[in-house]
Amino acid sequence: MDNQLIGKRVDVLDKGWVELIDLMPHPASNISGDLAIVNAARVSFMGESKGPEKDKKLLFYLLRNHHTSPFEMVEFKFRVRAPLVTWWQWVRHRTWNFNAQSGRYTPFEENDFYVPDVWRKQAASNKQASEGEVDIATNAALTAKLNSLYEQSYKLYEEALQAGVSKEMARLFLPGFSVYYTWVAKIDAHNLMQFMRLRMAGDAQYEIRVYADAIYEAFFKPALPWTAEAFEEYIVKQPSK
C-alpha cells in the first residue's frame, strides 16, 4: 500500500478537491486493505496470509459471487470540497457518514462559488441530463453573467454581515447550488464501490462524476489494487440493474 496516501489531496473542478484523511487498515499497520478483506472472509487474525496467489483468488471469488461483507472491513475517510450541486446528489447515498461545514459558523469567502468551464446543453432524450455544449460566444457570455451574479450576491452577503445580520440569514443572499462546502465523509469499501459504479457512469452528472473518478484513481486503486481490478472486471463491466 502507498504510505503517502493519507494526506494526499487531488484537485477537482475549478476550486474543489478530495483529500484522504484516514484509512482502515492504516498504512502504518503494514496490513494492506486487500489482505484485510481476505482475512475477514477467513475470519482469521489480521496479517495472516496464504500467499498472494491464493489471497487474490479468494478476493476475486468474493466480489464475483457478491460476498460483500468482507469489503466492509476497509474504510476510507475523506475531506472533500465541492459545490452544493455536487453534494445535492452525493447525500442521496445514505451509506456515507457525513459532517459538513456550516454557514452558520464559518463565513463564506468571495471565491467560494463554482464556475463551470463549459455550459452544457439540455439532452433532448433525457429530461435530467445534459448533452453537448453551447457555442463559444454563448459560453463566454453566460460565464460573464454568472461571475457578475456572484460578485453582486457576495457584496450583499457582506453588507448583511456588516449590518449585524446573523451568518445563518446573511447566506440567503448567496447562490445556493454553486456555493462550495467542505465536508468530512467516511465510507466502507463495499459501499464505495456501489457509489463509484453509479457515479463514474457516463450518464452521471459531470459535477459528481469527476469526484467519483478522482476517488477511484487517486485513492481506491492505490489502496486496494486487487479489489480495483476485480471491481473493473465484475462490477464496472456489468450493466446497471
> 77 pairs with which residues across the strands?
22, 186
For residues 195 and 17, give the distance between their C-alpha atoms in angstroms, rounded to a whole number.
Answer: 18
Torsion of CA 204, 65, 98, 86, to 10 degrees: 0
Active-site position among 94, 171, 197, 199: 199
Instruction: Write out the DSSP string of 97-166.
Output: EEEE--TTTSPPPTT-B---SSPEEEPSS-TT-EEEE--HHHHHHHHHHHHHHHHHHHHHHHHHHHTT--
Task: Return all residues near 125 (Cβ < 8 A) that are at least 6 apart.
Answer: 131
Instruction: Give the largest Cα separation in the chain, rounded.
Output: 68
For residue 36, give the nearest of 188, 235, 232 by alpha carbon. 188
For residues 190 and 112, give the distance between their C-alpha atoms in angstroms, rounded to a whole number.
Answer: 32
For residues 240 and 147, give the distance between their C-alpha atoms in angstroms, rounded to a whole number.
Answer: 38
For residues 65 and 234, give the distance between their C-alpha atoms in angstroms, rounded to a whole number.
Answer: 9
Is residue 199 flagged as an active site residue?
yes
For residue 209, give the nearest of 201, 217, 220 by alpha carbon. 201
Task: Tell me which residues are annotated as active site.
Answer: 199
